[in-house]
Amino acid sequence: MLEFFAEHIIDSALTQWIQATYWLWPIMEITHFIGLSLLLGGLIIIDLRMAGFFRSIDPAATHRLLPAVMLGFNLNLITGILFFFGDPMRYSINIGFQIKIVLIVIAGINAGLYHWKVDPILSTMDRNSESPPIAKFVAFTSLFAWISVLLLGRLIPYVGTG
C-alpha cells in the first residue's frame, strides 16, 4: 500500500520541491527532533505518573503537559509526512519505517483509550492512590510504542529496504 502511494507522489511538485531545496531537509530534521523532544519529554512524565511513579505529582497536574505533547506530535506528523514526500520510494519499502507506522497507529489507539477510559479516572484520583490496572496498561503501552518509534526512526537509514 505504501509503495502504491509512493509511486503516485514520486513526481509531485512537493516531492520535487523537497528534493531541490538543499536547506529544507536539515530544517525538517531539526524540527522533527524538537517535536520528538516535546512529545517524549511530556509523555514520559505523564506515563510514568500514570504507571504509579512520581506520586508527589498530582495526576491531574500532568494535563498541563498535554499541549506540549500535542505540539510535538503535530510537528512530527508534519515533518514526517514531508520526509516521506521527500524520498517516497525509500521510505515505502523500508521495514523500519513500516514498523514505525504500525507503532504510531498503536500509540494513537492507546491515546484514544487514555482519553475515554483513563483520563476520567485520573482527573479524580488522589495523589496517594494506587494507579488502576488500565492506567498502568495504557502507560506502559505508550512508553513501549513511543520509545520503539524513536528507535525505529533512528534505524531507518540502517535497516535496509525490506
Express each pLDDT in 64-115 by its tens digit. Answer: 899 999 999 999 999 999 999 999 999 989 999 999 999 999 999 999 999 9
Decide: 129 and 55 in contact? Cβ < 8 Å: no
Positive or negative, the Cα torsion across 17, 18, 22, 28? positive
How far apart CA 93 and CA 72 sit, in angstroms, is 26
Residue 161: per-residue pLDDT? 66
- Which triple of cell numbers denotes residue 84? 516521506
pLDDT at 11: 86
SS3 103: helix
Rounded CA-CA distance 111/78 in Å is: 19
| pLDDT exceeds cutoff 80 at 131 | yes
The sign of the CA dihedral 116, 121, 123, 129 is negative
The pLDDT assigned to 162 comes to 52
pLDDT tens string 31-59? 999 999 999 999 999 999 989 898 888 77
pTM value?
Answer: 0.87
